[in-house]
Structure 1
């Protein structure tokens, strides 16, 4: 009986579309057992512990003095409705900011993809191969497009590259920020033309500075006859969409929730957890401590999640995966640029 042919071993590559964005580490522990990475326990430890200590004090005084100063049982449900509505508004608003931030970042990446495709495909005249100067101009502009998305990330994280000195790391977040800033400078050296100087110290964002150079390239392409007028107009629209998405992300970053609402939210949570101690101390006794701790852990945890989602462009594990999204865009753009430089038939450019 003839043997069945065996399949050749699958060749595994180091990347694939959206490799960095879709990559996930295997979970060694169920989420219910995670208390450090990605959790908000450290942020709410103090208010939860304070509620537990206050409840223990109320139970002790209630049992030691036999005064029975507990609240009526119907008081707590009435207040809990108000607290629930406030938390729903808090988290829905914060998640909307998270979703909008991710949407605007995707819009910026899509605009860069569209501009890259158009620049590499259309930057020539039919039947005429571009000379070295023109090819270098196109390659330089595509690299500027890729540098723009890094400028977006650095601007939203207040990482200004060479213009603002790095601080010594005091916390883990500071250390990661310092390492990221060092990496950003290396990326800018690779993407920006030699001698490029930023003007962040003068108040000009790097993205706007680079967008001027992209607009100048579109004009040069129109003057050379590469882009007809409607096409040049569409390229400018794509560039405007990119800048508009950048402005929307900047608005999310610079417009926090009103401080009056945040103060009132914290005060209401503290008052509610305090009233729980009075409402449960008579019936539950020392078990009130456990119940109040659990309720305060739940309420303060929901509020802390909303606080993290409020500005989704940082380094928290619950923030947008900006580094992964931008790295995937860099891989895509680099592959297209390398294929264009080697004359690959992916662009179907044929010269007679």
Structure 2
């Protein structure tokens, strides 16, 4: 994720855009369109001396209004998905902290084994969820896992659910053993339930993309709009019209590709959510709250870029 301070340095922020993979795609596509339009203009006016059929510029205004409405809906839908993902991970942060705080208040200070178990499993749930949303859990990233646990985890198709279940089972066992009270269980249960709720909400975002027909229709509309632009701009502006076509295409395709980038917010693109960093924060917080020291594992390296 690109981390920056808004309204601090306009030119530096704009200059940083070229590092974005999406922006590189936009620029490459725009240059290809410019090259194609230059070739068309050269062949039509310079070689064959033809006269292009002219379309009145008012037509493009009407078509542009329709396209703008579609792009606004597309951008809003994509940003809603991005923001919903951020809200869910913010909810996960708060509930993991609260769960750790309640366990700290309920478990005896001398019961370091239970405290370490809870701290490791809360942290591992977040690590597993992060990788689950990215296509598969990497068992080597989990912390304080025995060889037997690693073999067991390798057999699970939904590891975040299994780890959350282990937390709940451990709490229930302590209630039956008298180490926790029924009141403790009532306080803790909503926060363990939230682990499932957050995982389900994130899976909903990941597995329910923008409808395919809508996505393809918008791409076809942008392509068709760009292809008819020469009939309105090249006869009047010549090679200057090529620049105008490139600028219009840059604006429309840029909005579409940026929406595509943020609609699935759990990946490693430069504008995706920093869930690796959030996971590291949760891990540090729960270990501190349960007073069992800090995990020794280093912070995972993500594709973050800071602009200051």
Check whether TM > 0.5: yes
TM-score (norm 1): 0.75
**1-structure distance, mates of 2:59, 2:188:** 62
Where do 1:135-174 residues align within 5 Å?
135-162=112-139
Task: After superposition, give the CA deviation of every residue in 1:110-155 in whole Å (9 maximum; x if it has no partner).
Answer: 221111111111113xxxx65xxx4312321221111110011010
> For the Cα contact (< 8 Å) 2:115–2:292, is it kept in 1?
no
**1-structure distance, mates of 2:152, 2:207:** 20
User: Which residue is equivalent to 2:176?
Assistant: 223
Where do 1:1-352 residues align within 5 Å?
30-38=12-20, 40-63=22-45, 64-124=48-108, 130=110, 134-162=111-139, 185=140, 187-188=141-142, 190-197=143-150, 202=155, 204-338=157-291
- Secondary structure at 2:149's aligned position in 1? coil
Task: After superposition, give the CA deviation of every residue in 1:293-323 in whole Å (9 maximum; x if it has no partner).
Answer: 1111111111111011011111111000112
> For the Cα contact (< 8 Å) 1:54–1:277, is it kept in 2?
no
**2-structure distance, mates of 1:22, 1:216:** 39
How far the C-alpha of 1:238 sits from its partner, in A, is: 1.0
How far the C-alpha of 1:266 sits from its partner, in A, is: 0.9
Computed over aligned residues only, the root mean square deviation of the Cα atoms, in angstroms, reads: 2.7
What count of residue pairs does the alignment treat as equivalent?
Answer: 290
How far the C-alpha of 1:328 sits from its partner, in A, is: 1.7
- Out of 59-68 and 216-225, give the one that drifted further: 59-68
Judging changes above 3 Å, is the alpha-carbon distance between structure 1 residues 27 and 160 closer, same or farther for their aligned structure 2 residues? farther
- Secondary structure at 1:225's aligned position in 2? coil
TM-score (norm 2): 0.85
**2-structure distance, mates of 1:147, 1:62:** 64
How far the C-alpha of 1:273 sits from its partner, in A, is: 1.1
Larger Rg: 1
> For the Cα contact (< 8 Å) 2:56–2:232, is it kept in 1?
yes
**1-structure distance, mates of 2:93, 2:80:** 20
**2-structure distance, mates of 1:55, 1:225:** 78
**2-structure distance, mates of 1:281, 1:29:** 32
How far the C-alpha of 1:39 sits from its partner, in A, is: 5.5
